[in-house]
Structure 1
Amino acid sequence: MNKQAYLPTQFDSPLRTPFLGLAMCIALSGCASEALKRAPSAPDRPWKPEAQDTAATIGKPELAPGFSVPVVPEAAVLPSAPVINNKQAYGLPQLIDIAQRENPETRLAWNRAKQAALAVGTVEATFLPQLSANVISGWQKNHTPLPLLPGNRSLDTEFHGVVPALALEWLIFDFGQRKALAEGAKHASFAANVLFNGTHQRIIHEVTNAYYLYAGASAKTGIAGQALKNANQIASAVEARRKAGLATVLETSQANQQVAQAKLRQVTAQGDQQIAYQALLAAVGLPATTKIKITNPPGNPLPNANSTLTDEAIQMAISRRPDVLASYAAMKASQEGIVAAEAEFMPKVYLGAVAARNRTNFDVRGLPSLSQTTGSSSVILGVTIPIFDGGLRSSRLQDAKTVADSASHVFRQSQQAAMREIIAASNMLRTALSSHQAASGLVSTAKTTYDGALEAYRQGLGTLTAVTMADTALLDAQQARLDARTASQTAAANLAFVTGNMTAARESWVD
């Protein structure tokens, strides 16, 4: 088959243009469907990254089989940790100071507060006129054939010009819609600000609670160590009696069992201490690998059980709770939303003004060019009245009323929740203090019983069973007192938090 050269004609270009556009559309649609290859091939098949997805794994081990993901070293780059003096022992106020500076939640709350403040400025800016500068430039060239003239003459003309203008837009009156929006934004800013302070209060509370729990776990480790010493003392006494021919093999076995149980208790206490240490690091916002010395809380004697809070004290506590104040501000902002929605039914008065200067040039081939400069200005005062919008404004008004009703119920709910938390925290503190007082008396009597039982056994007047029971009772009493002290410290801190009093770092909240 002979191939002939194809010479395009004057009809080819108009016909090829639509086909070219159609071909491009088909190619682009094919590219869109090709993107599905980036997704997993089936719901039960693992996703395999493409070359550009695995660029970060160059030089790294191959992707493991199964549902593994590529290695992205940048994702493991941690921010620099705060400088910790390994020779310094940090107390509760110092730990709280680190947490307030390093915890990301304080930055997030700060950004939300700044955004809410900027929203107020954005709404207030709508009260001012809007001035804009505009420049319009254009060029037009026309070729007009003149077939009636001899020689197939034509007329070429050019028209170009520049129009600079200043435009003024000003909404003068809107029946209080912008004012309502501005008031709602101010309430939202107030809520963001109190929640910012509330975030710091919560961080203080979390660090305080973790600090006391860690102190309690450390003290339990000390008690477990003392219990191991007591078990060794009992085992030594049994060994001495065995050498004298007064102790039996069963007593020796029981004494060794007591030592083994004490060692297990010590290992468990040390594990709980490490868990509490990691919880404290997390509350402060320090990396889990941080090595930091922690001071013990002051060993001041705890007071007796506190009295019940009065109604006036509860109301005062509710009035300064950040969450209650934020919900109250949200309720007030939602009420302003109703006013703004109602203003949509009213007309709006606006003012407009334009000042422009026009410079044009008109050129005709063979003739001198024409240039003209003109200026114009205008002022417009208008009124727009909404008549029909298919129920859109009514729907927005009903939605605003629903939001306001929900915000009101949320506020009442936050009041009731705050009251329950305050009363529960007060009862918890009173119970913890009473438990500590009772446990202190129990430790005193248990210590006397243990010392007497051990001495009696050494003198051959008591039994090993009595010594073992006295030792176990003493250990239980000491742990109960320690738990009650830790509970009292955390309950006091919790009461200060739920009443809105935890506004700064303190060593102890038990008064």
Structure 2
Amino acid sequence: MFGSITLRASLALAIALGLQGCATEALKTTSASPSTPWHPQGETALPGDFSVSGSADIAALPSSVSVDLQPGNVYQLPELIDIAQRNNPLTRIAWEQARQLALASGMVEATFLPILTANVFAGRQQTSIPYRGLLDGDTHYVDTTVSGVAPSLALQWLVFDFGQREALSEAAKHTAYAANVNFNGAHQLLIYNVARNYYQYGAAKSRLAIAEQVLVNSQRLLEAAESRYANGTGTTIAVAQARQHVAQSNLRVVQAQDMLRDRYQGLLGELGVSPRTQINIASSSERPLPKADDLASLDSEIEAALSKRPDVLASYAEWKAAQAGVRAADADLMPKVFVAAATGTNKKDLSIGHLPSIGNQTTGTGVFLGVTMPIYDGGLHAAKRQQALSVAASAEAAFEKVRNGASREIIVAADALRSSLAAFDAADSLVEAAAVTHDAAYEAYINGVATITDATAAESGLLDAKLARSEAHTASLIAASTLAFTLGAMTSSASPEQAID
């Protein structure tokens, strides 16, 4: 018998040592040192090669984004916003987060109900009892076997907790509300980002069109310089300057094309579609601008805007949730009254040696009313309460920061819109003046009363003026959208249009 016990102990020790060895063996699946590349076991790689082997499964995964684009359709801003709202992953992330917190609120509500559990215990125990025979003096054993099944049904119900669950439920509801508000806020931000990238894309298209027109004008000026040189009225210097101007204009076209591709990818990124997507996008260069007079009543709109901005509402809800957390921490120090009930049966069989088996069955039912109250916990509850107070104070300060920041954003956005509109008016006048100068300088050069330097300078001046007007136009469109966003009015695909109109 002693040998059997020793064997079992040795076996248990061997299993424990083997499991410990398995745990340390797992270290071999990592890098040998901070400066050594990691590679999966069985793969060989060059020293210092930190590349990773690809997974064909990832590339084969179907995309969750499906965009039904109509060939030949030129997409306006509201249509682009609709595509983004259906495909951008950020909206799905915000939606899932809101659902998670809604479920968390429901789980807190479930704590008000009793918990009913079914349990079944079954087992078998065998015991060998040695004894010395009275006649032969040898050691004999009596084998005793006990087996049984004990099913039961138990109920637990926290009846009264001085409002702790109510406070936790209130905190969960405020948190869920904040998540829902943030979900709508994510859509508002997406609408604004799509509008901003759409206007920037339109500005890039305008820049390219201006650069291409300047290139045409430069080539026309070069032809004039070469014609004058052929007629004997021009110089090689003038021809060289004209060619240099053509080269500079061509460089501007290349740079404008590169910017247009960047803006196009930026817009596709906001739409949440593949960067290889081909889509025809309407230009925003002819879009009318709002009037500066519309900003006169802005001060009266700030208070109304703060009451509906998602970030302000979410921050306020988080503050309320933190205050409820303080009440929950206070209630945690109070007694709790609970009810417990159980009913079950116990059926067992007893077998001793060669004697007949004995079986019996018992049943039992009980109901208990209990009270529990913390007396001493080493200051744990006090620390939890201080922590809850700190969280509430932090949430209050965060709410004040968000609210003040929102007011500042509205004022800054309004000032930016005023400045952009003023800059556009000034640039528009500059384009008119530069166009007159350009035409006059070109005609003067053709007629031999001006130099090529005058003509190229006028060309550059007209280019700068047109670019300034295009940039001011785009800045005004973006500023109008920014103001609408800060006012909490960027709520639908039509919002950017309304902000401009």
Q: Same fold (TM over 0.5)?
A: yes
- What is the correspondence of 1:417-496 to structure 2 with a 5 Å cutoff? 417-496=405-484
Deviates most, 35-44 or 398-407: 35-44
Which blocks of at least 5 consecutive residues in structure 1 are unaligned?
1-9, 55-61
Specify which of 33, 54, 57 is matched with residue 72 of structure 1: 54
Residue equivalent to 1:114:
99
* Map of 2:317 onto structure 1: 329
Q: 1:488 to 1:113 in 2, by over 3 A?
A: same
Contact 2:203 2:284 (8 Å CA) reproduced: no
Post-superposition Cα deviations, 1:98-134, rounded to whole Å, max 9, x if no partner, equal: 2212211111111110110001110010101111112
Q: Structure 2 regions of 5+ residues with no counterpart? A: none
1:126 and 2:114 equivalent? no
Counterpart residue type for residue 377 of structure 1: T
Counterpart AA for 1:456: A
Cα deviation digits, residues 76-114 of structure 1 (max 9, x gap): 446435344443322222222222122111111111101
Separation of aligned partners in 2, 1:76 and 1:157: 64
Identity of counterpart residues, as a percentage? 45
Structure 1, 343-352 or 356-365: larger mean CA deviation = 356-365
1:59 aligns with none
Alignment check: 8 A CA contact 1:63 1:70 kept: no
Give the Cα separation in 1 of the matches to 2:2 and 2:350.
35
- 1:163 and 2:147 equivalent? no
Bigger drift between 65-74 and 364-373 goes to 364-373
**1: CA distance between counterparts of 2:19 and 2:147?**
38
Q: Is the 8 A contact 1:348 1:384 kept in 2?
A: yes
Give the counterpart of 1:232 among 219, 230, 233.
219
Q: Residue 44 of structure 1: SS of its match in structure 2?
A: coil
Whole-Å separation in 2 of the counterparts to 1:96 and 1:120? 32
Measure how far apart 1:351 and its partner are. 0.8
Note the C-alpha offset of 1:193: 0.3
Aligned residue in 1 for 2:38: 47
2:300 corresponds to 1:312: yes
Shift of the 134–13 alpha-carbon distance from structure 1 to 2, 3 Å rule, reads closer
Q: CA deviation at 1:210?
A: 0.9
Q: CA contact under 8 A between 1:171 and 1:349: conserved in structure 2?
A: yes
Moved more, 82-91 or 269-278: 82-91
Deviation at 1:409, TM superposition (A): 0.3
Q: CA deviation at 1:451?
A: 1.5
- Alpha carbons 2:81, 2:271 under 8 Å: kept: yes
Query: Structure 1, residues 213-245: CA drift from partner, whole Å, max 9, x if none?
Result: 011001100000111111122222223333332
TM-score (norm 1): 0.89
Q: 1:244 to 1:373 in 2, by over 3 A?
A: same
1:202 aligns with 2:189: yes
After TM superposition, the structure 1 stretch with the greater mean CA deviation from structure 2, 106-115 or 34-43, is 34-43
**1:205 to partner: Cα distance:** 1.2
Residue in structure 2 matched with residue 6 of structure 1 by the alignment: none
- How far does the alpha carbon of each residue in 1:453-497 deviate from its partner, in whole angstroms, 9 at most, with x for none? 222332333333332222111111111110011101111111111
Please identify, of 275-284 and 356-365, the stretch whose mean Cα deviation from structure 2 is larger.
Answer: 356-365
C-alpha RMSD of matched pairs (Å) = 2.5
Whether 1:510 aligns to 2:500 is: yes
Deviation at 1:35, TM superposition (A): 3.5
Match of 1:100 in 2: 85
Deviates more, 1:177-186 or 1:276-285: 276-285
Of residues 324-333 and 380-389 in structure 1, the stretch that sits farther from structure 2 once superposed is 380-389
Q: Which of residues 64, 79, 82 is equivalent to 2:66?
A: 82
For 1:489 and 1:108, locate their aligned partners in 2 and report how far apart those are by CA, in whole Å. 29
User: For structure 1, which segment, 232-241 or 379-388, has the greater mean C-alpha deviation from structure 2 after superposition?
Assistant: 232-241
Contact 1:86 1:291 in 2 (8 A): no
Identify if the C-alpha distance between structure 1 residues 156 and 29 changes in structure 2 by more than 3 Å, giving closer, same or farther: closer
Query: Is 1:391 the counterpart of 2:379 in the alignment?
Result: yes
SS of 1:378's equivalent in the other structure is strand
8 Å CA contact retained: 1:164, 1:358: yes
CA distance in 2: counterparts of 1:22 and 1:358, whole angstroms:
36
| Maintained 8 Å contact 2:288/2:500 | no
For the 8 Å contact 2:285–2:470, the answer to whether it is kept is no
Contact 1:309-1:423 at 8 Å conserved across structures: no
Note the C-alpha offset of 1:64: 5.0
Distance 2:30 2:124 in 1: 49
Tell me, yes or no, if the aligned pair for 2:130 and 2:141 is still in contact at 8 Å: yes
Task: Give the Cα–Cα distance (whole angstroms) in 1 for the partners of residues 353 and 4 of structure 2.
Answer: 30
> Which position in structure 2 is the counterpart of 1:58?
none
Partner SS, residue 357 of structure 1: strand
- Range moving further from structure 2, 398-407 or 448-457: 448-457
Any conservation in 2 of the 1:334–1:400 contact (CA below 8 Å)? yes
Offset at 1:143?
A: 5.1
